[in-house]
Amino acid sequence: MENMINSNPMLQQMANSNPQMRAVLTNPDLMRQMMTPENLSAAMSMMGGMGGMGGMGMPGMGGMGGMGGGMPPMNP
């Protein structure tokens, strides 16, 4: 995560201006806890409720397949 922060100017500026944010982003245990399917789903719900992502709503993200939520099995 430290490499990502250092390679992204926006993240780097945010981390430099807010030491607590850097501490959160570089804490592997906290990142693991935040990236559970339940927490990601709750975050997506909050973003949708607040008109996040420019109001696009991001349809089809329900399962979060690539992010650990898993896709439902396909019926043959």
pLDDT tens for 24-36 read 889 999 989 988 9
Q: Which is nearest to 25 in space by CA: 5, 41, 10?
A: 5
pLDDT (tens digit, 9 = 90+) per residue, 22-68?
A: 898 899 999 899 889 999 999 899 888 776 555 444 444 444 444 44
Cα gap 27→2, rounded to integer Å: 10
Cα gap 16→13, rounded to integer Å: 5
- Residue 29's pLDDT is what? 93
CB atoms within 10 A of CB 40: 16
- Residue 41's pLDDT is what? 92
Mean pLDDT of all residues belonging to the chain:
76
- Residue 63's pLDDT is what? 46
